[in-house]
A and B are shown apart, each in its own frame.
Chain A
Amino acid sequence: MAKYLLLKHYRGAPAAVNDVPMDRWTPDEVDAHIRYMGDFAARLEASGEFVDGQALAPTGMWVRSDGGGRPPVTDGPFAETKDLIAGWMIIDVDSEARAIELAGELSSAPGAGGAPIHEWLEVRPFLTEPPTMTD
């Protein structure tokens, strides 16, 4: 089994095929989308492939140490051009092919007009623990 991170972006990903902001959908289309996402996670739990899923607020800031007993320096809010992560799902699957298959399903969640969004998701393999046997 191998773990993969599926990353969804608020900004910074290539434009989705069905690229309409959610507040321009109908309330029923919003409901259908939420239902699809919930069902997707439930299906992965049932198949033993779900690890975690979290959503992030669009707010936040950069922080770095300023050294020498001074409080950390902050820089924010984020610039409108910054690549911005919206949330993630972590899956534990047999193969890269399966990770891609699942990311594809997640990307086809319904959006405006009930049509799939076809948004771009980032799929990133985890670095793993070294194997017990190396030869």
Chain B
Amino acid sequence: MEIDELELRSLVPRALAVLVRRGADFATAEDAVQDALLRALHTWAGDPPRDPMAWLVTVAWRAFLDRTRSETARRIREQRVDAEPAPGATSSDDDTLQLYVLCAHPSLSAASAIALTLRAVGGLTTRQIAEAYLVPEATMAQRISRAKRTLAGERFERPGDLTTVMRVLYLVFNEGYSGDVDLAAEAIRLARQLAATTTDPEAEGLLALMLLHHARRASRTRADGSIVTLAEQDRERWDSTLAAEGIDILHRALARDRLGEYQAQAAIAALHVDAPTFAETDWVQIVEWYDELSAITDTPIVRLNRALAVGEADGAPAGLAALARVPAGTARRTAAAAHLHERNGELELAARLYVDAAREATNVPERTHQTRQAARVNQLLARRLDGAPG
């Protein structure tokens, strides 16, 4: 029998909750569960236990006892070993939710919260997380230890705010993937679990948003990693099952009538997925959703994306007018300006702006894409000169 790594990972937060409820401190319990996870990955391949949860809890508990050497720990050991609860002890959805909230605690930096969430809730190994974020394993291990030291003294049973939890999952999703872990898929798994443990419609909004973006993933890059714009994407390659699920979940969330930023973003993504072609996109409704989104969170990036939608709905001059209200220095503003000026027929200006956009790009595919756009517009200009009379 093969072990299902996803199933094993789904046991990790539950095992951790059991240890914490038995009186183990969060930091040591989390290390102990990681020890047990690594052993499971090594030993289950040939011979998985009949009750994986009981195995994981037992091995993690022993690892916890091995790891604790202090007076307090001895006391816990004396009290607990005899009264060790039956293996297979379960943990509740509330425990999982509390773990999410703790790992995304506002006192942690985003990078620390991401690392801790992926390990304690996601059940990833330190090595997998390090590979995914392209840092040495020792660095990632330190980041996690420091995060846990920051959390020392925080109560596990603390009711919390899901805003930071959703922010962390959103950032994980956006990271894409490198190494052997698909972070987008992992973020979806965790968002699914989160949505199942809370009644906050924003958790469903976030899940819907991820599913709707994920449905388009295969069409967004070529084999060489280069970017395919929304207008050029092969819509046949969009995953209609994921899209339909995303739309269903979004409708459920919207029906609760507590709109939030993730639901609004998901609604925009749903309108894109619904359009049979780029030309048939309902840009007017997309602009309306951007207005809703601005009312919730008026950020430069929302204004920028709204300006691009206005450019499609009402023409390039209207888009450029909307872009004028986006502060200079906003990421991708120059790229948006290049696009809108090109659509407005100002090719020389567009070509110069595409070159600037390439210089400002923060990743290699984006830089290549903007350089290629500049090359394309310069080629149009050269042909125009060649073809000009006289």
Contacts and interface: CB of A to CB of B under 8 A. Distances in A.
Interface residues on B, range: 20 to 34
B364 A55 contact: yes
B335 to A, nearest CB: 14
Interface in A1-47: 22-27, 29-31, 34-35, 38
Interface string B353-369: 01100111110100110
A38 B378 CA distance: 25
B325 interface: no
Given A30-B368, A34-B368, A57-B362, A23 B374 contact: yes
Contacts of B358: 23
Given A30-B368, A30-B371, A30-B372, A24 B378 contact: yes
A22 B224 CA distance: 18
B376 A27 contact: yes
**Chain A interface category by residue count:** 10 to 19
Interface in A67-111: none
B351 interface: yes
A58 interface: yes
Contacts of A59: 359-360
Contact of A31 (B226, B351, B359, B374): B226
A107 to B, nearest CB: 19
A111 to B, nearest CB: 12
Given A55-B364, A57-B362, A58-B359, A27 B225 contact: no
B225 A25 contact: no
B224 A35 contact: yes
Contacts of B107: none
Nearest to B359: A58
A4 to B, nearest CB: 21
B224 A26 contact: no
Contact of A27 (B351, B362, B364, B372): B372
Contacts of A25: 375
A30 B354 CA distance: 14
A27 B375 contact: yes
A5 B280 CA distance: 50
Nearest to A57: B362
Nearest to B370: A23
A22 B375 CA distance: 7
A88 B368 CA distance: 17
Given A31-B226, A35-B224, A23 B368 contact: no
A25 B359 CA distance: 16
Interface of A is mostly: helix
B90 interface: no
Given A23-B354, A23-B358, A24-B378, A38 B371 contact: no
A77 to B, nearest CB: 11
Contacts of A58: 359
B107 to A, nearest CB: 24
A55 B368 CA distance: 12
B379 interface: yes
Contacts of A35: 224
A82 to B, nearest CB: 15
A121 B162 CA distance: 51
B226 A34 contact: yes
Interface string B270-311: 000000000000000000000000000000000000000000
A90 B379 CA distance: 35
B371 A23 contact: yes
A24 B375 contact: yes
B224 A34 contact: yes
Nearest to A52: B134
A52 to B, nearest CB: 10
A59 to B, nearest CB: 8
A49 to B, nearest CB: 20
B377 to A, nearest CB: 9
Given A29-B375, A30-B371, A23 B355 contact: yes
Interface of B: 224-226, 351, 354-355, 358-362, 364, 367-368, 371-372, 374-376, 378-379
Interface of A: 22-27, 29-31, 34-35, 38, 55, 57-59
13 contacts: A22-B371, A23-B351, A23-B354, A23-B378, A25-B375, A26-B379, A27-B375, A30-B368, A30-B375, A31-B226, A34-B226, A59-B359, A59-B360
Q: Which 8 A-B pairs have the closest CB atoms?
A: A23-B374, A30-B372, A27-B376, A27-B375, A23-B355, A27-B372, A22-B371, A30-B375
Given A27-B372, A31-B372, A35-B224, 19 more contacts: A22-B375, A23-B371, A23-B374, A23-B375, A24-B378, A26-B379, A27-B375, A27-B379, A29-B375, A30-B368, A30-B371, A30-B375, A31-B224, A34-B224, A34-B226, A34-B368, A55-B367, A57-B361, A57-B362
